[in-house]
Amino acid sequence: MDFKFTEEQVMIRDAADAFLLAEADSAAVRTAMASELGYDPAFWRALCDQMYWHVAHIPEQYGGLGLGYVELCIVMQAMGKRLACAPFFSTVALAANGLLLAGNEAQREQWLPRIAEGQTATLAFHGGGRAWDATAVSGEFTGSGDTYTLNGDYCYVVDGHSADLLLIAARNSQDQHELALFMLDADTAGIERQWQATMDQTRKQASLSLSNVTVAGNARLAGCQADGSTLDTLLDLACIALAAEQCGGTDAILRQAVAYTQEREQFGRTIASFQAIKHKAADIALKSEVAMSAVFYAACVADEYLAGSAGDGELAAQLPEAAAMAKAYCSDAYFFAAGNAMQMYGGVGFTWEYDAHLYFKRAKSSEVLLGNGAWHRERIATGLLGPANGGET
Amino acid sequence: MDFKFTEEQVMIRDAADAFLLAEADSAAVRTAMASELGYDPAFWRALCDQMYWHVAHIPEQYGGLGLGYVELCIVMQAMGKRLACAPFFSTVALAANGLLLAGNEAQREQWLPRIAEGQTATLAFHGGGRAWDATAVSGEFTGSGDTYTLNGDYCYVVDGHSADLLLIAARNSQDQHELALFMLDADTAGIERQWQATMDQTRKQASLSLSNVTVAGNARLAGCQADGSTLDTLLDLACIALAAEQCGGTDAILRQAVAYTQEREQFGRTIASFQAIKHKAADIALKSEVAMSAVFYAACVADEYLAGSAGDGELAAQLPEAAAMAKAYCSDAYFFAAGNAMQMYGGVGFTWEYDAHLYFKRAKSSEVLLGNGAWHRERIATGLLGPANGGET
Amino acid sequence: MKLSFDTADEQFRTEIAGWLANNLSGEFETIRFRGGPGDEHMFGEERKRWEQQMAQGGWTCVGWPEEYGGRGLSIEQQVIFHEEYARAGGPGRVGHIGEGLAGPTIIEFGTAEQKQKYLPGIRNGTELWCQGYSEPSAGSDLANVKTKAEYDQGRQAWCISGQKVWTSLAHESDWCFVIARTDPQSQRHHGLGFFLVNMHQPGVEVRPITQLTGTSEFNEVFFDQALAEDILGEPGEGWKIGMALLGFERGVSTLGQQMAFQNELDEIIALARRNGAAQEPDIRQRISEAHIGLRLMRYNAMRMLSGPADGSLDSAALVYKLHWASWHRSLGKLAMDVLGSEGELLMEPPYELSRLQSLFLFTRSDTIYGGTNQVQRNIIAERGLGMPKEPRG
Amino acid sequence: MKLSFDTADEQFRTEIAGWLANNLSGEFETIRFRGGPGDEHMFGEERKRWEQQMAQGGWTCVGWPEEYGGRGLSIEQQVIFHEEYARAGGPGRVGHIGEGLAGPTIIEFGTAEQKQKYLPGIRNGTELWCQGYSEPSAGSDLANVKTKAEYDQGRQAWCISGQKVWTSLAHESDWCFVIARTDPQSQRHHGLGFFLVNMHQPGVEVRPITQLTGTSEFNEVFFDQALAEDILGEPGEGWKIGMALLGFERGVSTLGQQMAFQNELDEIIALARRNGAAQEPDIRQRISEAHIGLRLMRYNAMRMLSGPADGSLDSAALVYKLHWASWHRSLGKLAMDVLGSEGELLMEPPYELSRLQSLFLFTRSDTIYGGTNQVQRNIIAERGLGMPKEPRG
């Protein structure tokens, strides 16, 4: 037991903070978020070519660095601090994780090197409605063996309008209980993609419409469990990465708001000297610390999960709960922090000019994405208390 | 529209405050609460003989003063301020209201004068479980016309061990959908009564066990609707009276806590000068004001309800919602106030010697009695959104 | 205590409702429900014409004495007027600063000539007003006035130099009242004057502030040797007059504001029923809580308007801002949570928000402008509960 | 980062678990799970014998260096020790003030003679300690020490006069450490001494404080010319030593405390499953939240114990008290709400509380003693975030 960063991890963190301080300042974020693409391709190239973040936790045989999930979360946290705009979460935490979980050797060798080259990717699974697990999949596939055809509408696809590669979840049109994952090029015939403008402009969403999209048999990821459990595990891993980002945002907005209150004077004092302001900051600081523990506990669990054969080990078995705890806690902590920070800023906090609203909107969008606090708490409640409504769910 | 106390109402309030300041100080409350009876009979006699509170809203033809529900709530509020111990709520807001709602002329003439003489009374309806409406009734009756037999166990009966008269709710053992109310002497054969020690010692509860209790036909209140709606209305009226008491307690504990913080010094200042303390007090003050509006709005509604033939008038139709709003809001406001007041007191707040814990326990017990905030909010949600679970409840 | 309106008042309700139904149509159909908070910058021209339509019907300044062109309505009828106006979807009144603030202040403190000069334009909807209160370095610390007034012997008039902020409708307005320092040696609330300034002159510049919604309800106003047409009262009386003006702000119009809130809540309820959120227990509780909060806000306002006989006018009024601002901010969050994942998707690029999205974002300013929640809590604690003032730096 | 324990540590876990299973039986069966917070006054004699049983097994002072009779356990093994102790239901340790506070302080600041004199009694469980820190007029303002120490030339010793408060286990203890003012001219944290006082002398009087539970975990201790057997360090060093002592308080034992919390939460979960509360959505969310809060408290503590390499040891430690105290108070409320109406009914008259009822009431003190939540927030804001100190009066 040694629950602190190693020296190497501290170096990774410091390097990440320094890189993003230079490359993802407020002006850069504002330029990127105003574009439909949503990020600066030069920044993405720098992130890949200089920092190798996109392959941090991808095993070395596929062109990656072979680091762990803790390291990935350190990077996510750093990006969350700066609201850095890049197709990083979608490419790494959604698509690459999907390949690691469900691709066979050949499929990993087919696709992961393309990610390592800097191509972007994402996951499309959500068919609408209020659920954020495998039950949300409504797209369908037909066929078997050599060729499959995909149909359906997908929403809330992160970076879906710009990704080079798509990981698609779909149900067997003949048997709704059979769920599969397909990896394909985004320019495959029959795919229409539409950018959806979002309240949080720093992360882009798209809707996808698939009409008779035909793919070869090997597009179907071989290791995907038909019962949806693989997709749920993928979403758990994504939750942990997203929670790390939220944790970074919580810390950053706290520090920025505190710095502002140290300068701003009212009634002849800095407003930081008012107990109401101090106690708001202290309450955020508490949540920020606990969020940090939640994220890196969950990251350790994810590390063990990905290291062992899936499901082995006491710690690895905690993945669903660890992910739910991290996402529930960090979602609420971030929104709490960003909302209270805006109050600490006072009038300037709700102007476009100051960055407080960017954090506030990001807090809300990442709270909703992959399920909010109540959603994940109910998952945990089911484990502790049995299903709601006496099992009728 | 004139939503303020009349001059007469102000006089009633001031007289009530003055009477209770003299007769229900902390020492008196502590003596009364330590006894099994739960109140000082001399205090009850003074309350009846000097103040006529027990008949305030009973029509003159039955020996009452013929005042309204607003006046009753003014008295309840005053008693709530002092935590006054008396079988007042049970006798007036439960039993007398039951007779007003469901008794025919002969039944009112039979029983109300006994209450006017100072006899105490209460309602027994709850058979256990977590519901606080007519569905909670599990006691049963058999017979019809001339004679009825009652059987069943009743819990959470306010002042049930000491009341002279009992209003009993029961279901037809042959038809669970038929609900009736019976008024009887508490010493009727077959009734066992057991005082239950409670965390809040200022209001006593008992459990009742009825074994083949035989009563005459006229014990069954003639105006009671078989579908339970009369009992629900009775509980609504009781909720409003209880909310008035909670409103009084909220105001009193706020004022006491503020006074304490004005005296107590730490770090060289009165603790009242710390913003954290001031803002806690301000948040309670807000809730206290809104609670006041909730109670007297609901009291006006009850006035109209009791004045007209039941169900007439736009305002009268708001009774269930007004009662639910008042009980939900005041329950939470009182607990919020008492809990935060204890924090404002600091160390002495959790000693037996100071009164803060008496308010805290009363806040909790009256929150639970007749249904807590969540229970009443769900009632309102059903009105706004339809029943939960698509009507399957 | 009496909550119902009498027959004459109900007849008045029919009259105004009828006039609105007849007049809020045709060219004005498009501005129904528009121009409220978060939308104040929209449809300036149409709303100016509507102001004059109102004036022709005799429906501006209904609470003013008849000698100044008002209707001298009773409090009850003013309540009814504002309720019906909001219920009919009457647009945000561009004349409200003149009618509700400038006018009453001129009536109380102005000379006969000043009344003659300014009141008819307000009454007739031809001259619009804005307010010059807050300053950038002041925020909630209103007395921190840096704007200067110097008497220019050449121009024979006071000249204003400085900057005001959070001035809504500034670019639509003909006049602005400005608090400025007449005595350069003075501090805080001493040595101030209350000036009436024509906006159409070279020394006045209006710059919109873009908010987190991407829209600009508020402005900065720069005065550079701008001529003040008049001073109200004497130099040095500015603070007294300004405080009196703020007193006019809390009035019967709050009930109209509440009807607008009701429209928003109704939209949320309809949405929840449509998209299934109405079946989520958390949403049910929160919608219920919002409903209760709004209903009780109404009764709180009615107590406030009914006057001081119950001894607590002041406290009911003191809590009003904190209550509605906190409630409204919660409503904004509720709206987003009912929207769920759809809440992220904008109406159109680049940043076209739906009404509920705008509600979510704009309500973050409610707890800041017009005195932050923290300042409101200080006021409640200090003025309402007699707790010590904050020490100054 | 590594969360799992290594093999040697797991073997150690087996050892201590086995010893506890063998020894916490027979005469000690009755004190399992007893004597914790809210129950500290119970089973004094049995728990003293248990302390000696522990000592004979070599299980007292396990973190002390071996030269003073400890086991010199690593942090990991101390964590395991405390976890297993709590898991087995080990009773509240009457020796914990000596082992955790007095002993480490004497080890750090005592002379060789003092170590010789005091440490063996602590180690062997034969001499119990209590603390004389707080004073009635001080509360959270620890430096406000009024207790005096005067050097009595006749008795050749320091003599203590004054009053301490909130001293748990005072009537069971043989020794008390007392902070007292050696320089009568000094103020606040200057001029204090740290004294070791024998409780068995005429000048020491212990008076229990009855709390809202009706029980007396805490005491007042009056010193009237009581002889101090020793002074630790020099006169004037009392504050430095006292602060160092408080530093020992936050340590590995927190993980044992968390296991006790887990036992409470488990009881609540079992109750909710039994009485149907587990089907109430609000209860489900809150149980889930409590579970998450406790799990994350554990990982926060492990970060704290793993040391400062991640740069945030201090902040994780700073928030610890606020976190557990707030969490525990919420748990108490949750317990009552799961109990529902049954929560009012006591085990027996006059005031015998069940464990969950006691939890509800006693946890109100958690946010007060050992530094109120307000003081904790000040500390976090000032030390953790660098915000300004509160002005003194």
Tell me, what's the pLDDT at C311? 43
Report helix angle C320-339 to C355-362, nearest 10.
Answer: 140
Burial letters A25-41, b for 16+ CB under 10 A, else e? eeebbbebbeeeebbbe
Cα–Cα dist D329/A139, whole Å: 47
Subunit partners of chain D (3 or more CB pairs within 8 A): A, B, C
| Contact by Cβ (8 Å): B198, D344 | yes
Chain centre to alpha carbon of residue D216: 16
Average confidence (pLDDT) over B140-169:
97
**CATH number of C365's domain:** 1.20.140.10
Residue of C nearest to D286 (CA): C282
Picking from C205, C236, C267, the residue at the C-terminal end of a domain is C236
Cα–Cα dist B86/B40, whole Å: 7
Contacts of D268 in chain A (CB under 8 A): none
Residue C112 lies in a domain: no
With residue C59 as reference, give the H or E element that holds it.
none
CB contact under 8 A, B9 and C1: yes
Chain centre to alpha carbon of residue B358: 17
Amino acid identity of residue A207, one-letter, is S
**D residues 349..378 contacting A (CB < 8 A):** 374, 376-378
**Are C146 and C34 part of one and the same domain?**
no
The verdict on C210 touching D (C-beta cutoff 8 Å) is no
The catalytic residue among C46, C108, C205, C249 is C249
Tell me, what's the pLDDT at D299? 92
Stretch among B59-68, B175-184, B267-276, C28-37 having the lowest mean pLDDT: C28-37
The verdict on C288 touching D (C-beta cutoff 8 Å) is no
Collapsing DSSP to helix, strand or coil, A214 comes out as strand
CB contact under 8 A, C285 and D282: yes
Stretch among C131-145, C283-297, D168-182, D293-307 having the lowest mean pLDDT: C131-145
Tell me, what's the pLDDT at C310? 43
| Contact by Cβ (8 Å): A54, A65 | no
Tell me, what's the pLDDT at D119? 97
CA dihedral angle for residue A325, residue A330, residue A331, residue A337, rounded to 10 degrees: 150
pLDDT tens, D339-348? 999 999 999 9
**CATH number of C143's domain:** 2.40.110.10
Q: What are phi and psi of A121, to 5 degrees?
A: -155, 165
Most confident of B24-38, D75-89, D374-388: B24-38
Contacts of A274 in chain B (CB under 8 A): 275
**Are C277 and C317 part of one and the same domain?**
yes
Average confidence (pLDDT) over B192-216:
98
CB contact under 8 A, B273 and C291: no
More confident residue, B43 or B316: B43
Four-residue CA torsion sign, C323, C327, C328, C330: positive
Burial letters B171-205, b for 16+ CB under 10 A, else e? bbbeeeeebbbbbbbbebeebebebbbbbbbbbbb
Tokens (6 digits) for B72: 């009753």
**Are D148 and D199 part of one and the same domain?**
yes
Query: Nearest C-alpha of chain A: how many angstroms from C187?
Result: 12
CA dihedral angle for residue B184, residue B186, residue B191, residue B195, rounded to 10 degrees: 140
Average confidence (pLDDT) over D267-277:
96
Q: What are the distances in angstroms from CA B126 to CA A294, B160, B224, B368, B379?
A: 44, 12, 17, 13, 18
Tell me, what's the pLDDT at D311? 43
pLDDT of B157 strictly over 60: yes
**Are C212 and C260 part of one and the same domain?**
no
- pLDDT-derived band at B391 (thresholds 50, 70, 90) equals very low
Cα–Cα dist D191/C157, whole Å: 66
Residue C165 lies in a domain: yes
pLDDT tens, A312-336? 567 778 999 999 999 999 999 999 9
pLDDT tens, A204-228? 999 999 999 999 999 999 999 999 9
pLDDT of B133 strictly over 80: yes
Residue D378 lies in a domain: yes
The verdict on D288 touching C (C-beta cutoff 8 Å) is no
pLDDT of B390 strictly over 60: no
Tell me, what's the pLDDT at C314? 64
Query: Nearest C-alpha of chain D: how many angstroms from A336?
Result: 16
Cα–Cα dist A306/A316, whole Å: 8
Picking from C94, C121, C155, the residue at the C-terminal end of a domain is C94
Percentage of residues in chain B with pLDDT exceeding 90?
A: 93
Helices (H), C209-280: 238-249, 253-275
**Are D297 and D184 part of one and the same domain?**
no
Residue C121 lies in a domain: no
Cα–Cα dist D111/D102, whole Å: 14
Q: What are phi and psi of B90, to 5 degrees?
A: -65, -45
CB contact under 8 A, A276 and B274: no
Contacts of B372 in chain D (CB under 8 A): 337
Percentage of residues in chain D with pLDDT exceeding 70?
A: 96
**Are D275 and D224 part of one and the same domain?**
no
| Contact by Cβ (8 Å): B93, B121 | no
DSSP state of D391: P
Residue C106 lies in a domain: no
CB contact under 8 A, A199 and C367: no
Query: Nearest C-alpha of chain C: how many angstroms from A340?
Result: 10
Query: pLDDT digit of tens for each residue in chain C (393 aa)?
Result: 788 788 899 999 999 999 999 999 999 999 998 887 777 778 888 999 999 999 999 999 998 999 999 999 988 898 889 889 988 999 988 888 999 899 999 999 999 999 999 999 999 999 999 998 889 877 777 788 999 999 999 989 999 999 999 998 898 899 999 999 999 999 888 999 999 999 999 999 999 999 999 998 889 999 999 999 999 999 999 999 988 887 766 566 677 788 889 999 999 999 999 999 999 989 999 999 999 999 999 999 888 888 764 444 466 778 989 999 999 999 999 999 999 999 999 999 999 999 999 999 999 999 998 889 999 999 999 999 999 998 776
The verdict on A285 touching D (C-beta cutoff 8 Å) is yes
Contacts of B286 in chain C (CB under 8 A): 319, 322-323, 380
**Are D151 and D180 part of one and the same domain?**
yes
The verdict on C386 touching D (C-beta cutoff 8 Å) is no
**C residues 269..328 contacting B (CB < 8 A):** 269, 272-273, 278-279, 281, 284-285, 287-289, 291-292, 295-297, 299-300, 302-303, 305-312, 315-316, 318-319, 322-323
Tell me, what's the pLDDT at D217? 85
Tell me, what's the pLDDT at C250? 58
Tell me the DSSP string of C124-169: TT-S-EEEE---TTTTT-TT----EEEEETTTTEEEEEEEEES-TT
Q: Which residue among D291, D305, D388 places its CB closest to the CB of A273?
A: D388
Report helix angle A275-307 to A69-82, nearest 10.
Answer: 150
Cα–Cα dist A70/D310, whole Å: 13
Contacts of D391 in chain C (CB under 8 A): 391
Tell me, what's the pLDDT at B185? 98
Count of domains forming chain C: 3
Contacts of D282 in chain C (CB under 8 A): 281, 285
Average confidence (pLDDT) over B238-259:
98
**C residues 179..218 contacting A (CB < 8 A):** 209-212, 214
**Are D34 and D79 part of one and the same domain?**
yes
**CATH number of C24's domain:** 1.10.540.10
- pLDDT-derived band at D199 (thresholds 50, 70, 90) equals very high
**Are D140 and D166 part of one and the same domain?**
yes
Tell me the DSSP string of A229-291: HHHHHHHHHHHHHHHHHHHHHHHHHHHHHHHHHHH-EETTEEGGGSHHHHHHHHHHHHHHHHH
The verdict on A352 touching C (C-beta cutoff 8 Å) is yes
Average confidence (pLDDT) over A138-167:
97
Cα–Cα dist A311/C118, whole Å: 79
Residue C310 lies in a domain: yes
More confident residue, D42 or C335: C335
pLDDT of D65 strictly over 90: yes
Query: Nearest C-alpha of chain B: how many angstroms from D119?
Result: 32
Global pTM reads 0.95
Catalytic positions of D, written as ranges: 249
**Are C67 and C133 part of one and the same domain?**
no
Average confidence (pLDDT) over D102-120:
95
pLDDT tens, B8-17? 999 999 999 9
Residue D296 lies in a domain: yes
**Are D299 and D257 part of one and the same domain?**
yes
Q: Which residue among A200, A346, A372 places its CB closest to the CB of C344?
A: A200
Picking from D205, D236, D267, the residue at the C-terminal end of a domain is D236
Average confidence (pLDDT) over D315-319:
78
Question: What residue numbers bound the domain in which D29 lies?
Answer: 7-94
The verdict on D390 touching C (C-beta cutoff 8 Å) is no
Please give the domain boundaries of chain A with CATH numbers for all domains: 7-116 (1.10.540.10), 121-219 (2.40.110.10), 229-389 (1.20.140.10)
Tokens (6 digits) for C230: 């008049």
CB contact under 8 A, C292 and B328: yes
**Are D221 and D262 part of one and the same domain?**
no
Average model confidence (pLDDT) across chain A: 95
- Residue A321, Cβ neighbours under 10 Å: how many? 20
Residue D241 lies in a domain: no
Average confidence (pLDDT) over D358-363:
96
Q: Which residue among B268, B342, B365 places its CB closest to the CB of D392?
A: B268
